[in-house]
Chains A and B, each alone.
Chain A
């Protein structure tokens, strides 16, 4: 009985005690009970937890990487990283899909780690954390202990409000490692069969779609089961012709001194009319708004898709000369896929994938952490040491790769790298710098590396320029998510016009509604941000 009442009182205290300051007091000995026993087994690689201020606990998500999800105690990669760096790192990989929720619980209860992954310092997961003094200000520490961080991480990333606020730096960016990765993929073997060159203009593309529609390009005897272009319910991902009309539903452009979302631009109406035409003519699959991603992939593998929007990194595992025959069940001997840019439109515009700040996620260090300078030094090492470069690209020497006379031999499909996708562990999961798959050191070891590097270059060329780079999530949209860019209001209007449920002029009604339902406020807020950011 007594114990229960004690607990009730303790709870009451907890509820009140979750403010930043008191957390700090608890922080140094997080969750003493039961935890110590867990550590040895659970948090891999921490052999002697008391090795002084060189020990760093990292809290992050496993990002659905197979190896990290099932990582064991005494993992060889963590061991090797500790050996190379001289630090004692331990990793707590939380689930990815529920990471936001888990992280907010950790913040609410005050048990955090030394280095914490978050999408942004002003994320709603930990609303007001900067104001409440939860994160350590890192600017001076970086200047003193991390000279290479400023050198190696580009300024475009440091400028992002995801890492700094009011001129002070609270986060360290982890990079995507490439300017853009979106690209179109097209069935080169079908083009060849039809005697067509790779389409460039809108008319070229429409001609390809028409040929795919009327002919039996997959050769299964049914001329009606293939589409020139396929999409699925993730319209944001699978649409590839918005840029052709100079818009992207996710971005904003400056217009007469105001920052206005492309969603409501008159050019958007043209783009939607184009999609409507694709649908009416039967160039795109009619079930796109209910099609799940797995079914979309199934259609591609069954030879029902002539082209689709994708990313360069998908090429190697699914569409390369080595792997495509293992996927395209009906045409394993014929299939050949090319990377391609969407067409330029009436005004010569084109684009796929908006220009971004290049940040994958952000590291923060809680205010209570005792050895922030050591953490900065570790990150500095990760960004600058030659052995770190090699480790985060190729793993452990003698096991994942060999080096003879300065020549590195690394085969990504060798069992040691490919089983459980182990290469993801050193290139991504414990790599504190970037998504290592996109690193040049890695790209040049891939089969068909020239084609892939060219793909990344083409992708960078078609990155869609806009004026909303660095724009933080608008407060207006937090209150009315339905009017946000790619919000339900836009998608509903788009789907109804595209499928012919509503006439194209429903777009004008959408624009009027959007303004009324908070859009005007959003434009005002965005313009204010723009003016103050670009002073």
Chain B
């Protein structure tokens, strides 16, 4: 009797998963097969089946590119900094919102901070470039206060900071939504009980809020690491200029220049695949570590 029930339950679970599984098979894995063109010299008229195979030649070409190291270094730097500052930012904002007593105010703030997500980088970029330029507002104020003027967007040592901070500005509110959803699951009785025990704000956050957010944080962190070498092309392109190309050129902008030349499907696919392989190794490796240390994992 129980066995049959278990079998029936398994059947139900498989049935539940089936549409999704078919979806992933058909709409994700079938197109993914297209990635084999990274090992070909692909031509649209010959198709995948008739284009000549070239083994790892496209990858060799990538590693042989004179600026490969520079581009790789910039991509890694941008990825790590984005993670270092971009990952905690929405968590901190969510925790601050969580402390608010006034519900009405909280709702207004929530709605306002997620608005920049809806603006395009073309518009946001041109606004920030004007603000940050030598004759822009920020330098004008700095000048009046006797501080040195800095051409933020064309200086090698400030360019990355511009990308990171504008990225946070645009996406922090949007990123908060997920954490607010997680926070809504906490039973208020827990806080009350903790207060009776004399736990202060910090203790409550450390022992109730953060552990509760942990699974979401781990998942978001691991997934972001999967895309660590992917930059927001639209964003980088709008800020990138020849004076900072040596510190600002990343894989995606490099690939973009090939898009302009056109027709280099195999080479650009090889680059994308290279980034993905690094992402995969990192995600699966770190996932295993996370499972051992925090008990949380992607699967």
Please tell me whether chains A and B touch each other in their complex, using a CB distance cut-off of 8 A: yes
Question: Could you list which residues of chain A lie within 8 angstroms of chain B, going by C-beta atoms?
Answer: 4, 7-8, 11, 14-20, 23, 100, 104, 107-108, 123-129, 132, 134, 233, 286-287, 289-290, 292, 294-295, 473, 477-482, 488, 491-492, 494-496, 499, 501, 517
Cβ contact of B241, chosen from A126, A290, A295, A482, cutoff 8 A = A290
Cβ contact of B126, chosen from A19, A287, A294, A478, cutoff 8 A = A294
A17 near B241: Cβ-Cβ < 8 Å: no
Residues in A neighbouring B65, C-beta threshold 8 A: 480
Q: A16-B49, A481-B258, A481-B260 given as contacts; is B129 within 8 A of A107 (CB)? A: no
Residues in A neighbouring B61, C-beta threshold 8 A: 479
The residue of chain B having its C-beta at the shortest distance from the C-beta of A134 within the complex is B45
A289 to B249, CA, bound (A): 16
B66: Cβ under 8 A from any A Cβ: yes
Min CB distance B233 to A, Å, is 14
The residue of chain B having its C-beta at the shortest distance from the C-beta of A106 within the complex is B44
Q: A290-B154, A488-B242 given as contacts; is B260 within 8 A of A4 (CB)? A: no
6 additional contacts (CB under 8 A) given A18-B46, A132-B46, A287-B135: A16-B49, A290-B154, A292-B129, A295-B126, A473-B261, A488-B257
Residues in A neighbouring B258, C-beta threshold 8 A: 481
Q: A8-B30, A491-B242 given as contacts; is B261 within 8 A of A478 (CB)? A: yes
Min CB distance B57 to A, Å, is 12
Residues in A neighbouring B249, C-beta threshold 8 A: 488
Residues in B neighbouring A20, C-beta threshold 8 A: 45
Show 6 residue pairs from A and B whose CB-CB distance is below 8 angstroms, ordered by the A residue: A107-B44, A132-B45, A294-B126, A480-B65, A481-B260, A501-B243
A481 near B261: Cβ-Cβ < 8 Å: yes
Residues in B neighbouring A477, C-beta threshold 8 A: 261
B246 near A292: Cβ-Cβ < 8 Å: no
A292 to B237, CA, bound (A): 12
Task: Kindly list the 8 A-B residue pairs having the minimum CB-CB distance in the complex, ordered from nearest.
Answer: A124-B263, A16-B49, A124-B262, A18-B47, A495-B242, A108-B44, A132-B45, A491-B242
B8: Cβ under 8 A from any A Cβ: no
A233 near B126: Cβ-Cβ < 8 Å: no
Q: A123-B262, A294-B126 given as contacts; is B45 within 8 A of A492 (CB)? A: no
* A interface, over-half SS: helix
Min CB distance A367 to B, Å, is 12
Interface string of B259-270 (1 = CB under 8 A from A): 011111000000
B129 near A496: Cβ-Cβ < 8 Å: no
A517 near B242: Cβ-Cβ < 8 Å: no
Q: Which of B171-230 contact A (CB under 8 A)?
A: none
Residues in A neighbouring B44, C-beta threshold 8 A: 18, 104, 107-108, 126-127
Cβ contact of A290, chosen from B46, B129, B257, B261, cutoff 8 A = B129
B130: Cβ under 8 A from any A Cβ: yes
A367 to B242, CA, bound (A): 44
Min CB distance A270 to B, Å, is 20
Q: Which of B32-80 contact A (CB under 8 A)?
A: 43-50, 61, 65-67
Residues in B neighbouring A128, C-beta threshold 8 A: 43, 45
Cβ contact of A289, chosen from B45, B130, B242, cutoff 8 A = B242
Chain B interface bracket (under 10, 10 to 19, 20 to 34, 35 or more):
35 or more
B264 near A478: Cβ-Cβ < 8 Å: yes
A290 near B153: Cβ-Cβ < 8 Å: yes
The residue of chain A having its C-beta at the shortest distance from the C-beta of B49 within the complex is A16
B261 near A289: Cβ-Cβ < 8 Å: no
A196 to B107, CA, bound (A): 63
The residue of chain B having its C-beta at the shortest distance from the C-beta of A285 within the complex is B135
A23 to B45, CA, bound (A): 9
A4 near B48: Cβ-Cβ < 8 Å: no
A100 to B261, CA, bound (A): 10
Question: Could you list which residues of chain B lie within 8 angstroms of chain A, going by C-beta atoms?
Answer: 22, 26, 30, 43-50, 61, 65-67, 126, 129-130, 133-135, 151, 153-154, 241-243, 245-246, 249, 257-258, 260-264
Min CB distance B94 to A, Å, is 34
Q: Which of B30, B50, B66 has the most CB of A within 10 A?
A: B66
Min CB distance B237 to A, Å, is 11
A19 near B50: Cβ-Cβ < 8 Å: yes
Q: A478-B264, A481-B261 given as contacts; is B22 within 8 A of A19 (CB)? A: no
Residues in A neighbouring B129, C-beta threshold 8 A: 290, 292
B45 near A16: Cβ-Cβ < 8 Å: no
A18 near B45: Cβ-Cβ < 8 Å: yes
A124 near B48: Cβ-Cβ < 8 Å: no
The residue of chain B having its C-beta at the shortest distance from the C-beta of A123 within the complex is B262
B66 near A19: Cβ-Cβ < 8 Å: no
A378 to B67, CA, bound (A): 51
B126 near A517: Cβ-Cβ < 8 Å: no
A18 to B65, CA, bound (A): 32
B257 near A481: Cβ-Cβ < 8 Å: yes
The residue of chain B having its C-beta at the shortest distance from the C-beta of A233 within the complex is B241
Min CB distance B71 to A, Å, is 11
The residue of chain A having its C-beta at the shortest distance from the C-beta of B50 within the complex is A19
A479 to B245, CA, bound (A): 19
Residues in A neighbouring B151, C-beta threshold 8 A: 287
Residues in A neighbouring B245, C-beta threshold 8 A: 488, 492
Min CB distance B58 to A, Å, is 11
Cβ contact of B67, chosen from A4, A473, A482, cutoff 8 A = A482
The residue of chain B having its C-beta at the shortest distance from the C-beta of A293 within the complex is B126
The residue of chain B having its C-beta at the shortest distance from the C-beta of A133 within the complex is B45
B257 near A494: Cβ-Cβ < 8 Å: no
A12 to B26, CA, bound (A): 12
Q: A18-B44, A19-B50, A289-B154 given as contacts; is B261 within 8 A of A4 (CB)? A: no
Min CB distance B5 to A, Å, is 27
A238 to B126, CA, bound (A): 19
Q: A8-B30, A19-B47 given as contacts; is B262 within 8 A of A100 (CB)? A: yes
Cβ contact of A295, chosen from B47, B66, B130, B263, cutoff 8 A = B130
A107 to B45, CA, bound (A): 8
Min CB distance A210 to B, Å, is 21
A287 to B26, CA, bound (A): 50
Cβ contact of A127, chosen from B22, B43, B133, B246, cutoff 8 A = B43
Min CB distance A17 to B, Å, is 7
The residue of chain B having its C-beta at the shortest distance from the C-beta of A478 within the complex is B261
Min CB distance B127 to A, Å, is 11
B257 near A16: Cβ-Cβ < 8 Å: no
A119 to B260, CA, bound (A): 13
Residues in B neighbouring A496, C-beta threshold 8 A: 242-243
Residues in B neighbouring A104, C-beta threshold 8 A: 44, 262-263
Min CB distance A9 to B, Å, is 11
B241 near A129: Cβ-Cβ < 8 Å: no
A134 to B45, CA, bound (A): 9
Min CB distance A123 to B, Å, is 7
Residues in B neighbouring A123, C-beta threshold 8 A: 262
Residues in B neighbouring A4, C-beta threshold 8 A: 22, 26
Residues in B neighbouring A287, C-beta threshold 8 A: 133-135, 151
Cβ contact of B246, chosen from A107, A492, A494, cutoff 8 A = A492
Residues in B neighbouring A127, C-beta threshold 8 A: 43-44, 263
Q: A11-B30, A123-B262 given as contacts; is B45 within 8 A of A495 (CB)? A: no
Cβ contact of B262, chosen from A14, A125, A480, cutoff 8 A = A125
Residues in B neighbouring A11, C-beta threshold 8 A: 30
